[in-house]
Every structure is written in C-alpha cells, then in structure tokens.
Amino acid sequence: MMRGILRLVLTALAFVAVLPMIPGIDFHGNFLSALLISLLFGLMLWLIELGVGFIAALWTVASLGLALLWLIPLWVIGFWVLPALALLLTAHFVPQHLTITGFWPAALAGLVIMLIGLVTSKTFRHKAKD
C-alpha cells in the first residue's frame, strides 16, 4: 500500500518537475492534477499491459510456444515502450493538462517512469538490501 502511494506521488512529481524538462512534453497544472493524471496513467498502463499480455499469450499458444523466441527478446528490448504508449494515451485524454508531441519524447519520458517503477519495486529494494 505504501509502495503504491509512493509510486503515485513520485510519478506525480515527475509529471510536474521532470517530464516538462524533456523537449516535446508540456504539463499545465498543479500537483493535484498531476496526482489525478498519475492515476489515469496507471490505469492506461495497466490496460496496455493487459492487452499486450493477452496478445502475447494468444500468439504463444497459437504457435505452440515458438512465439516466445521473439517475444522475450522484444520484451527485454522494448520494456520502456509500454509506458511511452500509456503516456501518449494519457495525453490524448487530458490534452488540457499534458501534451506530448511525438513518440521520442514519450519514449524518453517512459524511461523516466520506468526508473520510478524500478526504484519503488519490491524486487529492487530486496536486492539493494543484500
């Protein structure tokens, strides 16, 4: 619970302070609107991950597992693409608060969001304690 709240607050801080430093991303609003956009972003990311997981599962079953030969490397290389797509989708729904012009600013912002998720993840914290 606390980790989720921390992730929400850090993502909202990223929307307010870090992401506007990336050329092509503009945020217009206060911290409360950043919190709400962070919630919307989390929902969009969950929906995208759910859809991608469903499609990957279908391809894996349909190809009798052969799709994993390219799905796993694709996931390792493109792990930052899903947050970028979620950011673009979020910006589409709240253009009065968040505007992103192009995929590459969204991809760079996706890396920032991915780093926030990595820092607040349970596995990262357990490895850091060892």
pLDDT at residue 124 in the model: 54
pLDDT at residue 84 in the model: 92
CA dihedral 15, 54, 59, 103 (to 10 degrees): -20
Whole-number Å distance between alpha carbons of 63 and 65: 5
pLDDT at residue 87 in the model: 95
pLDDT tens for residues 24-44?
999 999 999 999 999 999 999
State the DSSP H helix or E strand holding residue 52, giving kind and residue range, or none if neither: helix 31-62
Phi, psi of 25 (to 5 degrees): -120, 130
Burial class (CB in 10 A: 0-12, 13-18, 19+), 41: buried
Where are the chain's structural domains?
A: 7-121
pLDDT tens for residues 92-108?
999 999 999 999 999 99
pLDDT at residue 25 in the model: 95
pLDDT at residue 130 in the model: 52
Taking the chain (130 residues) in consecutive chunks of 10 residues, what is each chunk's mean pLDDT? 86 92 94 95 93 91 89 79 93 96 93 85 58
